[in-house]
Amino acid sequence: PLSFRVSPDRLIWHFSKNGQYSVKSGYHLAANLMASRKNGQQAESSGMISVNKSWKILWSLSLPNKIKNLIWRAAMNILPTGSRLVDRHVPVDPLCRLCENGPETPLHLFLHCSWVKLVWDSAKGSFPDALVHLDFRQFFEYICNKLDSSFIELWCVIIWIVWGHRNAIYHDRQGKDPLRVVFDAQQYLNEYHEAQHRLHIPPSVSSRAGSSVWSPPPEDLFKLNVDGSWVPGSFSGGIGGVIRDSRGLVIAGFAKPLKWCGSADYAEACAMFFGVAFAKEIGIVDVLIESDCLSLVNSVGCSSPDFSHIGHITDDIRRGMVGLRSFQVRHVRRSANQTAHEIASFARDVDEELLWIENLPSRFLQVLCSDLRAAGLAPP
């Protein structure tokens, strides 16, 4: 992505996410090249993340262990699918229980099955055709490389619900409506995070997690929540943000479509850049900024140059903050950033930038009230 200002060109190492060379990234590239040549296949120039890193991401997710174990078993190809049972000489029909159009492998069941495609379509998600040639482990590596932790968590819960539906059909029980799976997954995830907060159970890795519920800023500050929305496989996205005061009242908000968007990281960075610019435009100069993108928060807060693919945008954000009198950038969980998330999702489908002062459209009233109740404030 290009900067929003005129900035000098610079060389980056595009085989790592931070744009900088390391012995580890060089080793994985060399190993990938050797493996590809040995198999007679073209090398993966995009530099997929290692298996070990994928496992670290999986075990650090704020999810029940039963869901993490399911993903791990699918990636290790030890899930009792039809094809796996046949490989173990169990006399069963290897065809997919949901569509009966192919052997039931983890990749078919969770990606290529016609029933599951309805699930991904309802989420406005699609995946590149090249994934047809991967196995589930490689598919999971792809997900870890392309999505941030909040989206990976949602993806894992969707996989878990699909597996439960498959088992219900297998045992002649009523299954689920594919058009409700994504909604049920998001609801399950929100309830799990809220339950963790009520019980004071820390996430798997506390250093990676922010607040689980929205809270008002101190009286002398305003809070800006920003979020970006991008559908994997598409080239469009949306960004949104909302500014509120210490009483939880809306000061302003914005929604802006992105006509070209190549990644979730880019959408998140654009959301923070435009959010800061919008705050300054309406005279907000003492602001607490919250985002559910941990990598962006860390990059903005780091004094060293950012050589990642969104490094130019990160630099633009830092420069934009110079015009603020006081500011703090903080990471929060998706459940604490739900209003900005819904605005960003809404922004994907609008034709032009929308700005609101003192009120948001009524479609966001429910999530605003939910934030107020979570913060112990009375909805207006």
pLDDT tens sequence across 346-365: 999 999 999 999 999 999 99
Domain identity same for 34 and 98? no
Answer for the pair 208, 60: CB distance below 8 angstroms, yes or no: yes
Domain identity same for 244 and 192? no
Q: Mean pLDDT across the chain, nearest whole number?
A: 83
Residue 107 predicted with pLDDT over 60: yes
Provide CB contacts within 8 A for 156, sequence distance 6+.
Answer: 58, 61, 63, 67, 68, 70, 71
Domain identity same for 101 and 241? no
- Per residue in 51-104, pLDDT tens? 567 888 888 888 998 999 999 999 888 899 999 999 989 999 999 989 988 899
Domain identity same for 226 and 338? yes
Domain identity same for 349 and 251? yes
* pLDDT number for residue 260: 82
The two three-digit tokens of residue 62, written as one number: 């704020």
State the pairing for strand pair 222-230/237-244: antiparallel
Tell me which of 157, 175, 199 is where a domain ends. 199
Average pLDDT of the segment spanning 142-155: 85
Task: Return the closest-CA partner of residue 230 out of 130, 348, 351.
Answer: 348
Task: Return the closest-CA partner of residue 340 out of 188, 193, 211, 224.
Answer: 224
Domain identity same for 74 and 130? yes
- In a domain? residue 6: no
* pLDDT number for residue 156: 94
Mutual orientation of helices 65-75 and 149-170 as an angle, nearest 10°? Answer: 80
Residue 313 predicted with pLDDT over 60: yes
| Domain of residue 244, residue span | 210-374
- In a domain? residue 239: yes
Residue 42 predicted with pLDDT over 90: no
Q: How many CB atoms lie within 10 A of CB 123?
A: 18
- Per residue in 199-253, pLDDT tens? 544 444 333 456 789 999 999 899 999 999 987 767 789 999 999 999 999 999 9
The two three-digit tokens of residue 178, written as one number: 């594919």
**250-258 β-sheet, strand order:** 326-331, 286-291, 222-230, 237-244, 250-258, 354-357
Domain count, the chain: 3
